[in-house]
Amino acid sequence: MKWGVKQLMAVLAIGGGIAAAAAPAQAQETIKVGILHSLSGTMAISETTLKDVMLMLIEEQNKKGGVLGKKLEAVVVDPASNWPLFAEKARELITKDKVSVVFGCWTSVSRKSVLPVFKELNSILFYPVQYEGEESERNVFYTGAAPNQQAIPAVDYLMKDEGVKRWVLAGTDYVYPRTTNKILEAYLKSKGVAAEDIMINYTPFGHSDWQTIVADIKKFGSAGKKTAVVSTINGDANVPFYKELGNQGIKATDIPVVAFSVGEEELAGLDTKPLVGHLAAWNYFESIKTPANEAFIKAWHDFTKNPKRVTNDPMEAHYIGFNMWVKAVEKAKSTDPDKVIAALPGTKQDNLTGGTSEMLANHHITKPVYIGEIEADGQFDVVWKTTELIPGAAWSPFLEGSKDLKADWVELKCGNFNTKTNKCGGASN
């Protein structure tokens, strides 16, 4: 048979159609899960572990038969602590890799970088790290602590239990520390703390020369009033900061530091002896003894084949978020983002420390709050905890532009509903 050009084109078109039809079918063989965490750069010290725990959770779920009868497939990318690259990699995960959900980001600047992408492409991000609040997005589920689940309880503890009168708010120079410290400054002043008893300091990511700053902290703390450092220092800058505290002989009994971004993972790279007694506020500690936590730690050691690998708070946040996502997908009988977003509020998941976390209408979860003292082995001894789980508040009552705002994606379908004007759109409307 002799082929004409038209016949050949027709056959090729049919063939192309078959290939195109086969491609989506092939793509549907697994459910792809995006993992968007820095594996290099200044934030790798904190984020690599979160990539690893997601791989463990996906492997465990696949052993149970996957989700909706399909295996989960992890798609890992490295945004390399480069904030614009987070947005690029998020777009790639959603459009090229066709992931159904993304678990990722650590810093708020990385989260802010990807938000427009998730909104435009209508995909889902689970964000597992404590943050500054002042946000509630339809496409984001916040499984880390809002300020009322970490920063405010920590300051209350220092004020009431430690008798702290002077405050150093020390942070890395980006949105999370600046907004958290704005909230804390307003909160401290509402409690009668004078402006001269608050010292605020910011340093760049990866800052290494702490000698002058620590000397300033030491001087500020020598005024005869009990002083504490509230630290929102992020990433590998914590290593030289704590070393310099030790070098200058600042003990926890003199000027305690309570950290919001230092957990077991960060301490694993430090000589912890000079840090004994300093504090951290989290919603989970590895040292908390429950059957669920012990099983999680064992699974982690088995997965990593390393009995020295520690667990930490954002890992538990991913554990909670991942299991909530699985439940919502099974409830919706679909990975369609609109259906899963609708199914998530009200979803419950037992946490690792006892109690059950719930996804709220504002896309935050309920969490317990713990304050732990650093021990010589790099673990934390819990010195204080809340009696019940605290619902995460998206908007702070201590900030002028936020106190009238409410987030509710179930009834109001709005992340910044102004209760004074009864309009969606925030303080300016």
Residue 185 lies in a domain: yes
Task: Number of helices (H) and strands (E) in the chain: give both, helices first.
Answer: 12, 19
- Indicate the residue among 238, 262, 282 that finishes a domain: 282
> Per residue of the chain (429 residues), what is the pLDDT tens digit?
333 434 434 434 434 443 444 344 344 699 999 999 999 999 998 999 999 999 999 999 999 999 999 999 999 999 999 999 999 999 999 999 999 999 999 999 999 999 999 999 999 999 999 999 999 999 999 999 999 999 999 999 999 999 999 999 999 999 999 999 999 999 999 999 999 999 999 999 999 999 999 999 999 999 999 999 999 998 888 889 998 998 999 999 999 999 998 899 888 877 888 789 999 999 999 999 999 999 999 999 999 999 999 999 999 999 999 999 999 999 999 999 999 999 999 999 999 999 999 999 999 999 999 999 999 999 999 999 999 999 999 999 999 889 999 999 999 999 999 999 999 986 543
The answer to pTM > 0.85 is: yes
The residues, any chain, with a CB within 8 Å of residue 289's CB and separated by 6 or more, are none
Residue 67 lies in a domain: no
Residue 412 lies in a domain: yes
- Indicate the residue among 282, 313, 334 that finishes a domain: 282
Residue 165 lies in a domain: yes
- Asked if residues 177 and 131 have their Cβ atoms less than 8 Å apart, the reply is no
Determine the pLDDT at residue 26. Answer: 43
Residue 364 lies in a domain: no
Our count of domains for the chain comes to 2
| 3-class DSSP assignment, residue 358 | strand
Determine the pLDDT at residue 270. Answer: 79
Determine the pLDDT at residue 427. Answer: 55
Do 152 and 277 lie in one domain? The reply is yes
Domain of 230 in residue numbering reads as 148-282
Lookup result for tokens 């609109």: 338
Distance from C-alpha of 383 to C-alpha of 388, rounded to nearest angstrom: 16
- Indicate the residue among 227, 252, 282 that finishes a domain: 282
Minimal CA–CA distance to 180: which of 204, 200, 203, 197?
200
First to last CA, the chain: 73
- Asked if residues 331 and 70 have their Cβ atoms less than 8 Å apart, the reply is no
Beta strands 166-172 and 227-232, pairing class: parallel
- Asked if residues 310 and 378 have their Cβ atoms less than 8 Å apart, the reply is yes
- Please give the DSSP secondary-structure letter assigned to residue 150: T
> Alpha helices, DSSP H only, in 3-146?
5-27, 44-63, 83-91, 108-121
Minimal CA–CA distance to 348: which of 368, 329, 320, 369?
320
228: domain CATH number is 3.40.50.2300
Distance from C-alpha of 140 to C-alpha of 117, rounded to nearest angstrom: 11
What is the DSSP secondary-structure string of 153-198? HHHHHHHHHS---EEEEEEESSHHHHHHHHHHHHHHHHTT--GGGE
- Asked if residues 93 and 75 have their Cβ atoms less than 8 Å apart, the reply is yes
Determine the pLDDT at residue 308. Answer: 94
Check residue 333 and give left, alpha or beta (phi > 0: left; psi -120 to 50: alpha).
left
Distance (Å) of CA 303 to CA 56, 223, 289, 309, 323? 6, 50, 20, 10, 18
Determine the pLDDT at residue 28. Answer: 64
Kindly tell me the burial class for residue 80, based on how many C-beta atoms sit within 10 Å of its own C-beta (0-12, 13-18, 19 or more): middle
Residue 110 lies in a domain: no
Say which amino acid occupies 73: E
Distance from C-alpha of 363 to C-alpha of 345, rounded to nearest angstrom: 7
Distance from C-alpha of 241 to C-alpha of 262, rounded to nearest angstrom: 11
Residue 217 lies in a domain: yes
The residues, any chain, with a CB within 8 Å of residue 202's CB and separated by 6 or more, are 170, 171, 172, 173, 177, 178
Q: Which helix (H) or strand (E) holds 229?
A: strand 227-232
Beta strands 227-232 and 257-259, pairing class: parallel
Residue 422 lies in a domain: yes
Identify the bridge partners of residue 231 per DSSP, sorted by sequence position: 170, 259
